[in-house]
Amino acid sequence: MGERVPEVLVVDDDPEVARTIERALRGKARVTIESSGRAALSRFAQGEQFELVLCDVMMPEMTGTELYDKARALDPGVVGAWVFVTGGATPGERARVAASGARCLAKPFVLADLQALLRSKR
């Protein structure tokens, strides 16, 4: 029986960023990609759980911090899995990210940093 493969959710409206993350984690995790906060929120509403959630901060319709608050209300366990990924958040969103207590990965990131995040979840 093999080692369990971690489940990772990537929420980013930029398909290139999402694919880059998926490629970096290929063979190390099962990666699910959602391009909007609403689509990701529906996964939490259905009870899906992830060892790691990599979430962009600035997205249309729903910011990453709004998604975090709504996902946390559905599943308080998501707090330890959440990592904000940002490259240009507004001052207000940066303050909300800092207040959340969640980890943050700045764009552009080094692929080794993604792999280290995944190793920390095993």
Residue 88 has a pLDDT of 80
CATH number at residue 89: 3.40.50.2300
pLDDT of 113 higher than 90: no
Strands (DSSP E) contained in 4-122 are: 7-11, 30-34, 52-56, 82-86, 103-106
Q: Which residue has the tokens 């080692």?
A: 3
Answer whether residue 86 is part of any domain.
Answer: yes
Residue 122 has a pLDDT of 56
pLDDT, one tens digit per residue, over 38-47 is 999 999 999 9
Contacts of 99 (CB under 8 A, 6+ apart): none
Answer whether residue 2 is part of any domain.
Answer: no
Tokens encoding 54: 């990599």
Answer whether residue 101 is part of any domain.
Answer: yes
Answer whether residue 88 is part of any domain.
Answer: yes
Please state, in angstroms and rounded to a whole number, the distance separating the CA atoms of residues 117 and 88.
Answer: 21
Answer whether residue 108 is part of any domain.
Answer: yes
| Amino acid in position 33 | I
Answer whether residue 34 is part of any domain.
Answer: yes
Domain that holds residue 70: 7-120
Residue that wins the pLDDT comparison between 114 and 22: 22
Structural domains in the chain (count): 1
Instruction: Give CA separation, 115 vs 31, 48, 121, in Å.
Output: 13, 22, 10
Residues 54-81, mean pLDDT to the nearest whole number: 94
